[in-house]
Structure 1
Amino acid sequence: MRNKYLLALLSAFLLWFAWPPIPFSSPLLFIGFVPLLIAIEQVIRGDFSQKGRNVFLLSFATGAVWNTACIYWVYNAMNAFLPVGASLLVALIPFCLGPLLMALAFRGYYALRKKWNIWLSFLGLVSFWIAYEYLHQTWDLSFPWMTLGNGFASAHQLIQWYEYTGVYGGTVWIWLVNILIFLIFWQYKMRINTYSSRTLAMILAAVIILPVTISVWRYTQYEEHINPSQIVVVQPNIDPYQKFGTITPDQQLNILLDLSRQVAPPNTEFFVWPETAISSPSGINEDDFREYSAYDRIFEFLNEYRNGNVLSGIESYRIYSDQQSITARKYNEGVYIDHFNAAVLIDQSSKLDFYHKSKLVPGAEQLPFGEMMAFMKPLFAHFGGTTGGYGSQAEPSVFYSQSGIGAAPVICYESIWGDYVAKYIEAGAQFIAIVTNDGWWSDTSGKDQHFQYARLRAIENRRWIVRSANTGISGFINQRGDVVQKSDWWVPAALSQEINLNEELTFYTQFKDLIAYGFLVTGLLSCILLFVRPKR
């Protein structure tokens, strides 16, 4: 079994090396699973006891090493807030849960192989894999960072057809190529010809070349409709661990205003500031925000820009007379309070729009599974959130300027959900404003991956990405996924860019993860086949 674990580790290495932000390595995803499939085939055909257990352990080893190598940076934030033991407990969500679900997909594949032919079994494997990815973006322990189709974020010229399929199209593409290469290799190694090698080679060539050709053609031919809007993004570079220590909220606001003025032409329509840019040690009461000095200063600042709007992250709260949401906590007798990681739109009228982050980070911003996990509230409270978790809203909302421009206020973690971001566009957003704070992870690949993933949202919806990071990478990405401007790590910066607004809806925007829904159906059918006895 030692050689088989070496093959499993080889798969993990190939998948890690292919993952963003390592440049020009994405095509390695096409062979990343081949060594693992070879090891599993050797187990299936070999003289081993407990074959199902061995298949599970091999695939879990691949998933665990691959995940840990790609998202090691998650532990940086955990370790900053929690004791070592608690950090290891919370780390089970990103580091162990994903590999466990991956291993279950391969275990289901093995169960199908015992009863059905290899093609039907491979269909089950791909279906189980996509079911794992879909589950991992929808339940309370969601962490879709490692969705396989995300791996092409650094090679956006090859996946322009994501405007039809989204990232699940990339997942299917990667699996098809891996399976075909495995079949060709295995037949050559075993000197068998169950399936015509020439036929398989032709199918493999078509599966690789056709999508690439279509994508490159679409990339070179795509032209944006000219509909300009002037945008400024600000990166204040405030250490998130000292946000309420060495620098006051007024000083933070001074930095934002000064940086904005340095680059903003008079026709600037949106100033985009990062996650929690507007804050105070106790938060901002949304109902009384106009009474805060920060609001007065921003309102005065906008007088310099005739069509100006400030779209900013904000730490806010609301007070109720009764418990209006599951996350609202009793503050005093007859008084309940709900905290939000939010965004706000401030214009030159008296109108204020708030958006409450919906996709909350498990453990840090929400308690997974609500009351079922109530015994862990004291632990999660130390991870930067509140003991009851942040409040949220069920559906995204669009911020409209006085001139009618629709902006999608996407907060940090939400930008890795393709289907959720598409809902903003469907609701009328003409560009996507990502406000984030990637400084928690220090100078690691986490900030680079997060920036690269934004390119996928640009392609899926054909919208400009306007990205403002507190400490991370800020910048502009056009409708083809090209990075037009970006800031450096750990420097204060402000960038100004004329973008093109878009009102057209792509196929993906309208139908979202249609491919995933189809494979969920075939996954259900594959589960049924596990309990059906095949005819001889």
Structure 2
Amino acid sequence: MKNTLLSILSGLLLAVSWPTYGFPLFLFFGFVPLLLVEYDIRKNKYSKAQVLGFTYLSFFIWNTITTWWIYNSTGVGMAIALLVNSLLMTIVFLLYHIIAKRTSFTISTIFLACFWMAFEYFHLQWQISWPWLNLGNGFANFTSWIQWYEYTGTFGGTLWVWIVNIGVFKSILLFKEHKDKAILYRSAIKNGLIIVVPILISILILKTYEEEGKEIEVVVLQPNIDPYTEKYNTTDDRISKLLDSLTTTAISDNTKFVIAPETVFADNNRLHNFPQSIAKRTALKIIDRYPNVNFLSGISLIDVFNNPARIRKQTNIYKEDVFYDDYNSAFFVRPDASDELYHKSKLVVGIENFPYESVLKPVLGDAMIDLGGTVAKKTTQEDREVFFTKDSVGVGTMICYESIYGEFSTGYTRNKADFLAIITNDAWWGNTQGHQQHLYYAKLRAIESRRSIARSANTGISAFIDQTGNIVSSLGYEKRGALQGTIRANDKITFYVKAGNYIARVAIFLAIFIFLFSITRRKKKI
């Protein structure tokens, strides 16, 4: 019973730490009850099945409370996300349990922290990618604590969390062994400093940071179109009139960018016909009235072809000898220049891609999830495209899910983006923590790259975020309108943009080294 309660406590502590309602201080203690459970199982030589059971309980509680809202878009998707992600986290702890039997406390806990970071890193890379609960994201609603993410990225936050959890865990074990309260006092001071000092450093950075770059005026549009009942049952002509109407409420002669949300144009647009599309005509109509404006928007595009030589892994088969590539794209139109496109390249699992299709499709069949529109694999691109104005202001456009990937998003900055745009459609999740967490994760991208962010969300929350991750202004959920803001175009590069997820790479090396070291040793006595 005690281990059950401790496992539940761990899950609850991690859940109440999470944005946007949570308080991240609990992250520093969230794993401690579960570590005590694992230690008890190891000390008493209980079976590995108990480690699996208790650990899975903790992580399932955490995953369910923080990401239950996936159910609003797909019940099957929610079940898979909760069950699989909880299992992956459990496997990390199971391997720690095995290593801890063979090595010292110090080596095994270093392995745990490193292997957890390796897990988070691979969760950013592989085809079943779901990094929503990577620990560094947990500070997204307390950005005054983590201004040093410009040096470390979110893995700095993950490492911070594990250092304190392991320190508290160690002090409890020492106290149980020696019954000396001085151990607890020393631990409270030491771990308190480990928490407080980085926060103080962050506050110092925040107080002394000055926004970089020249000011530019941007308008973001929020058409508030219901994706379930309206979005895919309307015409681009109607969307065009709506966007034009919204633009006129906020635009001025000084406006440099007008930004519309993800796939706002979704009326069977063919890639080769884009120059003649209603979407482009909409942009040109606005530019004709305001010649200084650059128009950026989301669009669904399909490229149908018959040539089998053009088939690639992400190509869809319509029927015999008819194939198509399906794109979730951003298009950019500026005065007196050719059109530019960027195709979304971090895809939502099961909705925009079929992970490990050659292995899973024979087992699951055609298991793509229907959320309206075209049910098909999306086609991606290799490079992070940056769109430039006539006077060389560069904007990197992240489409929806891409904005939760830190190192991925630095590709835009390395390609000379002076600010970042996020175009998204968060309506699938309803008015839940889902769309709010997504907004708050954007604040992390601003800090990592020191880039202002203009966010256009179909149903909200559209916002402007400054280079310190502060939300300067926003347009609430399920409101229709346009938001004008002035942001900075910064061309300076942060250490994190240059180095990427170096902390995770070091952690992977250490985890592999410790694993190989441990399997050559005999089990130690507890």
Tell me whether the two structures share a fold, i.e. TM-score over 0.5.
yes
Alpha carbons 2:326, 2:376 under 8 Å: kept:
no
User: 1:99 deviation in Å?
Assistant: 1.4
Distance of 1:112 and 1:378 partners within structure 2: 39
Alignment of 1:2-401 (within 5 A): 2-22=1-21, 25-46=23-44, 48-50=45-47, 52-79=48-75, 87=76, 90-192=77-179, 200-244=187-231, 247-280=234-267, 282=268, 284-320=269-305, 321=307, 322-331=309-318, 335-375=322-362, 376=364, 378-380=366-368, 382-384=370-372, 388-401=376-389
Alpha carbons 1:18, 1:151 under 8 Å: kept:
yes
Alignment of 1:441-456 (within 5 A): 441-456=429-444
Moved more, 176-185 or 324-333: 324-333
**Residue of 515, 518, 522 corresponding to 1:530:** 518
| Cα-to-partner distance string for 1:65-84 (whole Å, 9 max, x where unaligned) | 100110001111014xxxxx
Distance of 2:213 and 2:196 partners within structure 1: 32
Moved more, 235-244 or 153-162: 235-244
| Cα-to-partner distance string for 1:84-126 (whole Å, 9 max, x where unaligned) | xxx2xx4354212221121111112211221211011100111
> Gaps spanning 5+ residues in structure 2: where?
none
Alpha carbons 1:20, 1:154 under 8 Å: kept:
yes
Amino acid paired to 1:500: R
Amino acid paired to 2:473: Q
User: 1:292 deviation in Å?
Assistant: 2.2
Amino acid paired to 2:328: N
User: 1:461 deviation in Å?
Assistant: 0.3
Corresponding residue of 2:501 = 513
| Cα-to-partner distance string for 1:362-385 (whole Å, 9 max, x where unaligned) | 100011113223344533153447
Distance of 1:249 and 1:302 partners within structure 2: 18
Please, what TM-score do these two structures have when normalized by structure 1?
A: 0.93
Distance of 1:535 and 1:316 partners within structure 2: 58
User: 1:290 deviation in Å?
Assistant: 1.9
Structure 2 SS opposite 1:378: coil
User: 1:350 deviation in Å?
Assistant: 4.6
Moved more, 413-422 or 390-399: 390-399
Distance of 2:375 and 2:460 partners within structure 1: 27
User: 1:134 deviation in Å?
Assistant: 1.2
| Cα-to-partner distance string for 1:249-303 (whole Å, 9 max, x where unaligned) | 22222111111110111111111100001220x2x12221122234223202211
Distance of 1:433 and 1:100 partners within structure 2: 34
Alpha carbons 1:377, 1:388 under 8 Å: kept:
no
Alpha carbons 2:228, 2:371 under 8 Å: kept:
no
Please, what TM-score do these two structures have when normalized by structure 2?
A: 0.94
Alpha carbons 2:217, 2:255 under 8 Å: kept:
yes
Distance of 2:19 and 2:387 partners within structure 1: 31
Would you say how many aligned residue pairs link Structure 1 and Structure 2?
A: 521
Q: Which runs of 4+ in 1 moved over 4 A?
A: 192-202, 330-335, 383-388
Distance of 2:373 and 2:102 partners within structure 1: 49
Alpha carbons 2:227, 2:372 under 8 Å: kept:
no
2:453 matches 1:465: yes
Moved more, 236-245 or 219-228: 236-245
Alpha carbons 1:133, 1:147 under 8 Å: kept:
yes
User: 1:491 deviation in Å?
Assistant: 0.7
Distance of 2:502 and 2:281 partners within structure 1: 46
| Cα-to-partner distance string for 1:151-173 (whole Å, 9 max, x where unaligned) | 00000000000001100110010
Distance of 1:526 and 1:175 partners within structure 2: 17
Moved more, 354-363 or 54-63: 54-63
Distance of 2:240 and 2:211 partners within structure 1: 35
Corresponding residue of 2:403 = 415
Alpha carbons 2:270, 2:301 under 8 Å: kept:
yes
Distance of 1:496 and 1:10 partners within structure 2: 45
